[in-house]
Structures are given as structure tokens and as C-alpha cells.
Amino acid sequence: MSYYKHHIFFCLNQRTNGEASCADHDSQGAFDHCKARVKALGLAGPGGVRVNKAGCLDRCAGGPVAVVYPEETWYTYVDRSDIDEIVESHLRQGKPVERLLLPPHIGR
């Protein structure tokens, strides 16, 4: 058994050279919202969920992105309601949100 049931990593990378980056889509706001929801639902902590910041996850073309481990489930999202759905469906119930899955061929 692992220390956490799920880790969700949010790319917060900001590029300054004009290339697209997740920070262009308020990924910090999504991270903050996810962390608050996980905590409010009592999912945070050992045996539960850890919400983590990440640098570039190298899937910029699909940004903003987040990935849930240990399942290695990659998501793209638009707004807080998408984050709420990921928290409720995947992190709470163990069911990935099909409509938000990042296609495997999307890279940088």
C-alpha cells in the first residue's frame, strides 16, 4: 500500500519565450481550487490524496494539464467545474473522467 492513494500533479510552468504554457491558462488557480476541494472533502493526507505543483510536464499542446498517479491518467481542463469533476469522479470514486482525458499523442 502506498502512502497516498492518489497524487495529482498540476503543470504550473510559465514560458517567457512566447511558447504556449499551462500558466497561460490559470493553472495556479486550478491547483489552488483542487487543493481546497480535496481538503474540504476530507480526502487530503495519508491514505488519501496529495495535490502537487509540477514544472513542465512536456505536454504543452494540450495545456493546461494535470496527471493523476498511480494510474498515470492525463487530463486537460477548462475551468473549476472540470476540476470539481476530476476530484469527485476520479479522486473520490476512482472513476477517470473520460471527456477530460488528454489524448496520448499530444505532446509539446
- The C-alpha angle 99, 11, 64, rounded to 5 degrees, equals 40
CATH 3.40.30.10 fits 6-100, yes or no: yes
Amino acid 36: pLDDT: 98
Closest CA to 43 of 101, 100, 80, 93: 93
Buried b (16+ CB within 10 A) or exposed e, 66-82: bbbeeeebbbbbeeeeb
Where is 51: in which H helix or E strand?
strand 49-54
Amino acid 22: pLDDT: 94
Amino acid 1: pLDDT: 65
- If the chain, 108 residues long, is cut into consecutive pieces of 10 residues, what is the mean pLDDT of each piece? 92 90 95 98 97 95 95 96 98 97 91
Cα dihedral 27→86→65→77 (10° resolution): -70
Amino acid 44: pLDDT: 97
Domain assignments of the chain as residue spans, ordered by start = 6-100
Amino acid 74: pLDDT: 98
